[in-house]
Amino acid sequence: MSDISQEIAAQAPASGFASAEYNSVAVAAELEGIVLISSSFQVSPELVGRRKEWKLSYGRKLVSCEFNEEQRSVAGVFEYHVTAKVGKKRALHCVAHYAVFYETPENATEAGARGFCRNVGMFAAYAYFRGLFARLVAEANVQLPPLPTIASRAHIPPKKEQ
């Protein structure tokens, strides 16, 4: 995938957050659910039966992330997309949005909970998108490779903590 880690880092609060804040959420948060909230899939008949004549591009982004201190929860909405082109023509496009919900510990800070959701939620929902995409291209009888895995950079704490 493209270097999404720069985009995710840009969405983090400018003040950063302490690794202790993140870790207190990471060790105690519980996944409540992952929900597909929308999807779209278009394929051109020209792609069917073609092999290796297409060029794939991928992407993902955080759409929103909300922390609710009263309910001790954090939720994120993530978008994933894949496009296949044959020459300059878009022959396939798939986009899906997933919501990911976590119960957070009582001592969770907003910055720590949001940081956790942005990072871990992105990976949790991506597995579901990979499965959805695999099913859709199989139904369309399109021969594409499995989607690649995704990676992230380590959290860099604010300057005062280092």
pLDDT at 45: 82
Torsion of CA 66, 102, 132, 44, to 10 degrees: 10
Give the three-class secondary structure for 102. Answer: strand
Summarised one tens digit per residue, pLDDT across range 41-93 is 999 887 776 666 788 999 999 999 999 999 999 999 999 999 999 888 899 99
Instruction: Tell which residue, 139, 133, 128, has the closest CA to residue 84.
Output: 133
Parse the chain into domains and list their residue ranges: 5-153
Rounded CA-CA distance 43/49 in Å is 12
Q: Which fold has domain 5-153?
A: Bacterial Protein-export protein SecB (3.10.420)
pLDDT at 155: 53
Beta strand pairing status for 30-43 and 54-68?
unpaired
pLDDT at 149: 86
The phi and psi torsions of 143 (rounded to 5 degrees) equal: -95, 95
72-111 burial, b at 16+ Cβ within 10 Å, e below that, comes to bbbbbbbbbbbbbbeeeeebbbbbbbbbbbbebeeebbbb
DSSP 12: S
For the ranges 30-34, 142-146, 158-162, the one whose mean pLDDT is highest? 30-34
Tokens 């894949």 locate to: 82
pLDDT at 162: 47
CB atoms within 10 A of CB 6: 9
pTM over 0.85: no
pLDDT at 105: 95
Q: Per residue, what are the HEC states of 49-81? A: CCCCCEEEEEEEEEEEEEEECCCCEEEEEEEEE
pLDDT at 160: 58
Summarised one tens digit per residue, pLDDT across range 82-141 is 999 988 889 999 999 999 999 999 999 999 999 999 989 999 999 999 999 999 999 988
Measured between alpha carbons, how far is residue 70 from residues 12, 35, 101, 129, 143 in Å?
A: 22, 22, 15, 30, 48
Per-residue confidence band for 35, with pLDDT thresholds at 50, 70 and 90: very high
